[in-house]
Amino acid sequence: MGNETISELELIDNLASGAVKRLKLVQGEDLKFCIYIQLSWKGGDLLLETQRKKPRVWSSLDRLAKHINSKYGSVPVVELYLWSKESNGKNRRC
């Protein structure tokens, strides 16, 4: 994945233009959640970051769902990846 990131404003613009294919909600080893975005015009996934260029994380799935509903409205496909000891190292990290 590298350093491929996207800001929240860019995500909102891409949602409005229909360029977002899917959101991937990923739980890290610290049990916090982050969002990876797949765009129709760009290969790979983009990590949602803050204005300070840090990964945007949520402490619970409930808070993340509320954020998505309040900020983004209707979104395309959403995939959920939960952390487990068996998948350690195989899932993306926040």
Task: Tell me which fold the domain 5-81 belongs to.
Answer: 3.30.720
List the structure tokens of 59.
């402490």
The residue ranges of every structural domain in the chain are 5-81
What's residue 85's pLDDT? Answer: 80
What's residue 47's pLDDT? Answer: 98
CB-based burial, 39-50: b 16+ in 10 Å, e otherwise: beeeeebbbbbe
What's residue 68's pLDDT? Answer: 97
Quote the CA–CA distance of 56 and 41 in Å, as a whole number. Answer: 23
What's residue 2's pLDDT? Answer: 52
pLDDT in tens, the chain (94 residues): 456 999 999 999 999 999 999 999 999 999 999 999 999 999 899 999 999 999 999 999 999 999 999 999 889 999 999 998 876 656 667 7
What's residue 1's pLDDT? Answer: 42
What's residue 84's pLDDT? Answer: 86
